[in-house]
Amino acid sequence: MNGTMLAELTFYAAAGLLMYTYLLYPPLLALLPCARSRRYNPRAPLEAPAQWPRISVIVAAHDEANIIARKIRNFLDSSYPGESELLIVSDGSTDATASIVDALAGERVRLLVQPRQGKGAALNVAVPQARGEILVFTDATSMFAPQTLTELVRPFADQRVGLVNGRIRYRQAEIANLYHRYEQMLKLLEVRGGLIATAHGAIYALRRELWRPRDPRLVNDFFDPIFVTLKGAAVALAPRALCFEEFAAAAQFKRQVRMVALAALVYFTVLPDLLRAHLWRSVMVLTSHKLFRWLTAVWLLLLIATTLELAAVGGIYRAALAVEILTIALAALGPIASRLGWSERATFFYRFLSLNIAAMVGLWLWLRGRVPVTWEPSGL
């Protein structure tokens, strides 16, 4: 095989993987049959308030003094008809987070304190002390609509449901909301098989008996949907369980690096279990939705390298090189457009490339065994 043929094979392989990841994976999900044994009715009503389970809302907070009181008020304003409690774990906070929570603590709000160890360790501390039959995981910066907890818990009326994922909306963040609409579409297709690739850490609920203490590095919103599938339970979506957040664009690169490093650790830790259990659909969903997307920057680099080599051949390779140059130019304009206050759409290619570079950095950290478990608040 000569160099030109190898370059051509690499070009088409990289282009094919990109097309599959972003364009062909959704219709493939639509063509797959529903998992009939896991069907549920997401609107099944609970007939009386006495049937609504007790819930525990759990938040890991680090230096969130500027928002934590609002989070507590948001919880207390919920219209959930059953019993509920809020557990806030101050993860080594150096500001007034713990004292603010302590001042507002009562029968329904409890404070737990631990040294700086990260979210995973905080959840391992909080869950054993939670009184609820249903565990709701969220963030300090995530604000719920009044009906959110009710809608999030409703699908648990079906005993086959082990995890329910809510829906997030960002304020004044057009691109972020567009991305999450795309993610929601994928989840709607994935849940036909009773599973999803990942829950949203800002808003999902888990049946208490499906919680297990785990290595704090195994990020909960990626690990829990996989564990639920391994236990034979179904996953449900609650599209009317809304969560609102401010979008901190400046913090997204660092956040993406951390989340991909943590998620990669989960993926390669549980993959052997999924293979042994012959859960091929789960393997396909996790690999297509997550691993292949994390590798987007690799596919793009291979495309650029091969088109530079093959451009002299002409035809499709020269056209591909022109598209790549245009994309890089538009990405380079992103920071300038942001500083000048142009439409957010002008930053799309910049954000797309930067977040995929961040994913590649996250994979590199995982490969080197340097998975970060702590986080910093977004500063909102």
SS3 2: coil
Q: Which two tokens stand for residue 106?
A: 């009562």
Question: Which range is least confidently modeled, 10-24, 183-197, 200-214, 332-346?
Answer: 332-346
What value does the mean pLDDT take over residues 306-330? 89
| In the chain, domain spans | 1-31+251-380, 36-247
199-220 CB burial, b ≥16 within 10 A, e <16: bbbbbbbbbbeebeebebbbbb
Predicted TM-score of the model (pTM): 0.90
pLDDT digits (tens, 9 = 90+) for 353-380: 999 999 999 999 999 999 988 877 765 5
pLDDT at position 163 over 80 = yes
Quote the DSSP letter at residue 215: -
CATH topology of domain 36-247: Spore Coat Polysaccharide Biosynthesis Protein SpsA; Chain A (3.90.550)
Q: Which two tokens stand for residue 319?
A: 């056209």
C-alpha closest to that of 127 among 117, 135, 138: 135
pLDDT digits (tens, 9 = 90+) for 272-298: 999 999 999 999 999 999 999 999 999
Whole-angstrom Cα distance, residue 166 to residue 136? 10
- DSSP secondary structure string, 256-280? HHHHHHHHHHHHHHHHHHHHHTT-H
Beta-bridge mates of residue 171 = 246
Q: Are strands 134-138 and 143-144 parallel, antiparallel or unpaired?
A: unpaired
